[in-house]
Each structure stands twice: as C-alpha cells, then as structure tokens.
Amino acid sequence: MINSNTAHGSSDPLASEKIQVDRKVFFLDLKENQRGRFLKITEDVSGRRDTIMLPASALKDFVSALTRLVDLEERL
C-alpha cells in the first residue's frame, strides 16, 4: 500500500507496506520528521509490538544485506 499524501506530518507515513506471516504482522512505514526521512519497522505478534527506526541514508545498505541473506537462504 502506498500513501501519496501531500502534507506529511511526523505521524503520517510517506508510504506504507504491510506483510502478514503466520501470526506476525510487519508494518513498514517510510516517514519524515525535522531530522529527515526514516523507515519505521514494526513487528506485531498477538498485540505485542517491537519497533526499529532506520535512517533513510542506511536503506540501500539494509536492502543489500537482506538481499545477500535471501540469496544465501535460497542456496542452502
């Protein structure tokens, strides 16, 4: 799901994705505040939530690392 709001407050995501895996739900929200853009990743497991914040400047490195892990997992 992509949100294309023109007015972006600190609580409104620029874009969002939702991934359901068994009993877990992952929310990926691209957000922006006075310090810049960041990716907020939230895991919800039966109402318990854990969140990490990733600066936008680290997104390419994060995706590259995930891609390497996916490639390795596919070869195992």
Residue 62 maps to a domain: yes
CA 21 to chain CA centroid, Å, is 15
Q: What pLDDT sits at residue 7?
A: 46
- Number of domains comprising the chain: 1
Do residues 19 and 26 lie in contact, with contact meaning Cβ atoms separated by under 8 Å? yes
Q: Read off the CATH number of the domain in which 23 is found.
A: 3.10.450.700
Looking at the domain assignment, is residue 22 inside a domain? yes
Residue 5 has pLDDT above 50, yes or no: no
In degrees, to the nearest 5, what angle opens at C-alpha 5 toward C-alphas 36 and 30?
40
| The predicted structure's pLDDT at residue 10 | 57
The whole domain housing 25 covers: 15-75
Instruction: Report yes or no on 25 lying in a domain.
Output: yes
**Reduced DSSP (H G I as helix, E B as strand, rest coil) percent helix, strand, coil of the chain, to 5:** 25, 45, 30
Write out pLDDT tens, residues 17-66: 999 999 999 999 999 999 999 999 999 999 999 999 999 999 999 999 99
Domain membership flag for residue 2: no
Q: Kindly state whether residue 1 falls inside one of the protein's structural domains.
A: no
- Give, for 2, the enclosing helix (H) or strand (E): none
Higher model confidence: residue 5 or residue 75? 75
Does a structural domain hold residue 43?
yes
Q: Reduced to 3 states, what is the DSSP secondary structure of residue 58?
A: helix
